[in-house]
Structure 1
Amino acid sequence: MEVFVQVVDAGGFSRAADNMQLPKATVSTLIQQLEAALSVKLLHRTTRQVTVTADGAAYYERCLQILTDVKEAEESLSRTRLSPSGRLRVDAPTGLTSSILIPALPAFFERYPDIVMELGSSDRPVDLIEEGVDCAVRGGALGDSALIARRVGVLNMVTCAAPAYLEKYGVPGHPRELERHRCVNYFSAKTGKIYDWDFTRDGERIQLPLPGMIALNDSNAYVEAGLAGLGIVQMTDYLLMDHVHAGRMTQILTDWISDPIPINIVYPQNRHLSTKVRVFVEWVAELFDSHPGMRVRQMAPPQPQRQPEAA
């Protein structure tokens, strides 16, 4: 039943085998044995894809419930409630992974030493079910209704530039002045759409596309572009503020606020939430709640700007 559910979710034998860390031949044999035992064809197989039959779809739903019941029964009688164990597959954005999750993971593994984590890091929204991911940390609006989401924080945005860039091109005093500057844009890894920039002050809201010589879809690369002086950047403060404090970047337009980005942990709604996933979700919520960069903030007081030197 577990193999059958994995094949349906993954849409094929090879990906299911990878997700379960089994040989493809073993997965194929188990499905054949299951169909023979049931005397029912569960899957349509072609050279390109595997799809579920009508009988297979009905059996799939029953399997999910049965496997959930079995898992709950096992956990009620085992030590996994006290010491969760096993492989946990997680996906999270690159900047958040490197700056917040990884530095805190030693404390997680000290608390849960029997969990083995596979942590994917990219700004590409993965398909949790197809790719066999237990849960994912995602920023921004959620469009997948097949997932359960838990809000765990927000990402606050700041606008910055390298000091050398500001010395050469000047310091903008209003968001509209950015239209005369070089800006580093960010585009969606899923749609390719370049995101607009937004600013709010005293009830006035400005949202606009801005010119730029380069656009990126990886947050770490985006920050590096700003440090290299390629233009003005707008990114999460936990990625930029260390550079500001070290003098490598200068924060600008500090009397304007950009929309905070909600951050959620998502997981499939038709799956039993295992103990290892549950404790990870709770740990991330606790971690983000204690992080100053993850809280909704009020308008920051204006800060003196570094003016460009006279030519």
Structure 2
Amino acid sequence: MEFVQQVKVFVSVVDLGSFAKAADALSMTRPSVTNAINALESSIGARLLHRTTRRSSLTGEGEIFYEKAMQLLSEVAETKNLFGGSGDSPHGRLRIDIPVAVASTIIIPQLPEFQRRYPSIEVILGVSDQPTDLIADGVDCVLRIGGNSPPTMVSRLVAHIPMVFCASPEYLANYGTPKNIEDLSEHHAVTYFSGRGRRRMEWNIFEDGKERIVHMRSSMLVNDTAAYVDCAMAGMGLIQVAGVYVEDRLKSGALIEVLPDRQHVTLPLSVLYPNRQHLSPAVRAFVDWTVEIFRAKTSRWIRVS
């Protein structure tokens, strides 16, 4: 069996977790899969998999080889499609991490369509606003709102997300409604922080056509977007949050927009992944699909260039 096919079998075993499942997925017999892995290990001179009766797992050498194998298969697929030919459908595990603000509102409701389009991709979904080390955590790509991308990451802009000031009706009834920027100093804020260093999210607002930072008195520090909004709904203070996440609450009156006549500050929503040169077909499919669905969702709270 040729080397590339052996690599394909190896990747399938890793992605599916067993020789039997890989055999079914590839329409091969179990002995053929075993022979392919044995031949591959013999040709490269390293043991790639720990075998048990029910599962297989990567050795240290196998982890290194798996990354190279994914790169190889990606390049093979790209070469096969160089002149428009039809290559294999993207497959395997796709580990993604997305922010809370767009998880329940945009991404998750659309995931069934992604799975129908790419049935051979198994999505491993993480929902978090906290910084992620893609390499150390084994994540293929992340969506992030705001912030600068590390120099080792490739960043693709997906959309701009307008931020909104808001508070609960109860809070505004108790403390009054701010009419201008100066009034904000008289109010309490729920403050969002992230990372081990507890970095606080600054409040930004436009004044005289320029963006400036507003320093607020903090009543509570929170590191989760859902809890952040819940604190505001409980009347604990003002918040500045992605409008797309609280759109329904604003419509229902559960939250009230503050300073609605002010120009909204927008933050970039970007998808980040480690290396464009070896972008796997599954990651490429997810990145392109993400850009597509956000373009279709363009609204007051989602702006696409």
Q: What TM-score, normalized by structure 2, do the two folds share? A: 0.72
Relative to structure 2, which stretch is displaced further, 70-79 or 250-259? 70-79
Q: Supply the distance in 1 between the matched residues of 2:68 and 2:88 (Cα, whole angstroms).
A: 24
Name the residue aligned to 1:15.
none
Instruction: Show CA shifts across 1:98-119 (max 9, x none).
Output: 2211011111112112211000
- Counterpart in the other structure of 1:208: 214
Of 74, 89, 97, the match for 2:103? 97
Q: Are 1:278 and 2:284 counterparts?
A: yes
Instruction: Give the letter aligned to residue 294 of structure 1.
Output: I
Which piece of structure 1 moves more, 91-100 or 78-87? 78-87
Question: Which residue matches 2:32?
Answer: none
Moved over 4 A (4+): 18-22, 62-67, 74-80
Number of the residue aligned with 1:230: 236
| In 2: Cα distance, 1:181 partner to 1:126 partner | 33
- Distance in structure 1 (CA, Å) of the matches to 2:231 and 2:255: 11
Give the CA deviation at 1:206: 3.5
Question: What does residue 168 of structure 1 align with?
Answer: 174
The number of aligned residues is 250
Overall identity of the aligned pairs, in %: 34
Work out the CA distance in 2 between the residues paired with 1:19 and 1:109.
16
Q: Which residue of 1 aligns with 2:142?
A: 136
What secondary structure is seen at the aligned counterpart in 1 of 2:293?
helix
- Determine helix, strand or coil for the equivalent of 2:217: coil
1:77–1:245 Cα change, 3 Å:
same
1:131-173 Cα distance to aligned partner (Å, 9 max, x none): 1111111111224111111100111101111111111111110
- After TM superposition, the structure 1 stretch with the greater mean CA deviation from structure 2, 266-275 or 83-92, is 266-275
Separation in 1 of the partners of 2:125 and 2:67?
25
Amino acid at match of 2:130: R
Deviation at 1:37, TM superposition (A): 4.6
Report the Cα offset of residue 199 of structure 1.
1.0
Question: What is the TM-score with the length of structure 1 in the denominator?
Answer: 0.71
AA of the residue aligned to 1:176: E
SS at match of 2:221: strand
- Which residue matches 1:73? 76
CA distance in structure 1 between the partners assigned to 2:239 and 2:155 by the alignment: 29
User: 1:186-244: CA deviations, max 9, x gaps?
Assistant: 11235312122111144254312210210111111111111111111110101122111
Structure 1: runs of 5+ lacking an equivalent: 1-17, 23-29, 39-51, 298-311
Equivalent residue for 1:268?
A: 274
The answer to whether the 8 Å contact 2:101/2:242 transfers is: no
Answering whether residue 303 of structure 2 is matched by residue 295 of structure 1, we say yes
SS of 2:130's partner is coil
Residue by residue, what CA displacement relative to the aligned partner does 1:42-80 show, whole Å, maximum 9, x if unpaired? xxxxxxxxxx9xxx9xxx8x9977863454225655998
Query: In the aligned structure 2, how far is the partner of 1:177 from the partner of 1:227?
Result: 20
